[in-house]
């Protein structure tokens, strides 16, 4: 992928999804969260994660076989994957806004099914949270959501 080793010192939550069978296999390196059909599965390594970049000089199959943070999922209806930046929303401009809880933020990204036809739904939610509640993530936030009918 032509990445520098320091570019591999970041969270990686990789999912291989069989959309026909609604099943997935995950490999997790770093801090983040998986929301699987409403069940939150958090990966927290006290910000000392076992990044892929630490293993560039070993056999990749060996790394994957010994990787302890793996997950298999079946019966997927609604799946979200996010880095731990989802937990870091805060006010940066010091102005007063209505309050929003962490649970409400998670609901907006992981549960809310409104505006599904909008391919920029997650970005729109991020902008709305900033404009209405004055909150932005203070750490990198990457998120993917996949929904099955």
97/95 Cα distance (integer angstroms) = 6
Residue 68 has pLDDT above 70, yes or no: no
Cβ atoms 95, 147 nearer than 8 A: no
46/113 Cα distance (integer angstroms) = 32
- Over residues 66-95, mean pLDDT: 91
Question: Which one is predicted more confidently, 60 or 131?
Answer: 131
| pLDDT (0 to 100) of residue 119 | 86
| pLDDT (0 to 100) of residue 115 | 86
Residue 1 has pLDDT above 70, yes or no: no
| pLDDT (0 to 100) of residue 144 | 92
Q: Look at 56-60, 127-131, 132-136 and tell me which has the smallest mean pLDDT.
A: 56-60
Q: Tell me which residue of 25, 10, 8, 6 sits closest to 85, measured CA to CA.
A: 10
- Over residues 87-105, mean pLDDT: 95
Share of the chain above pLDDT 90, in %: 57
Q: List the Cα angle 84/86/90 in 5-degree steps.
A: 115
Q: What is the pTM of this model?
A: 0.82
């Amino acid at each position: 992928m032509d990445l520098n080793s320091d570019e591999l010192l970041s969270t990686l939550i990789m999912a291989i999804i069989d959309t026909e069978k609604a099943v997935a296999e995950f490999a997790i390196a770093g801090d983040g969260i998986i929301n699987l059909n409403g069940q939150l599965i958090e990966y927290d390594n006290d910000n000392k994660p076992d990044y892929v970049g630490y293993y560039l000089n070993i056999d990749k199959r060996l790394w994957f076989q010994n990787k302890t943070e793996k997950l298999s999922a079946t019966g997927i209806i609604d799946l979200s994957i996010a880095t731990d930046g989802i937990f870091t929303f805060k006010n940066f401009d010091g102005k007063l806004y209505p309050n929003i809880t962490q649970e409400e933020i998670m609901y907006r990204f992981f549960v809310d099914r409104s505006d599904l036809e909008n391919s920029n739904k997650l970005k729109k939610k991020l902008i709305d949270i900033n404009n209405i509640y004055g909150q932005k993530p203070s750490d990198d936030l990457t998120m993917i959501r996949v929904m099955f009918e």
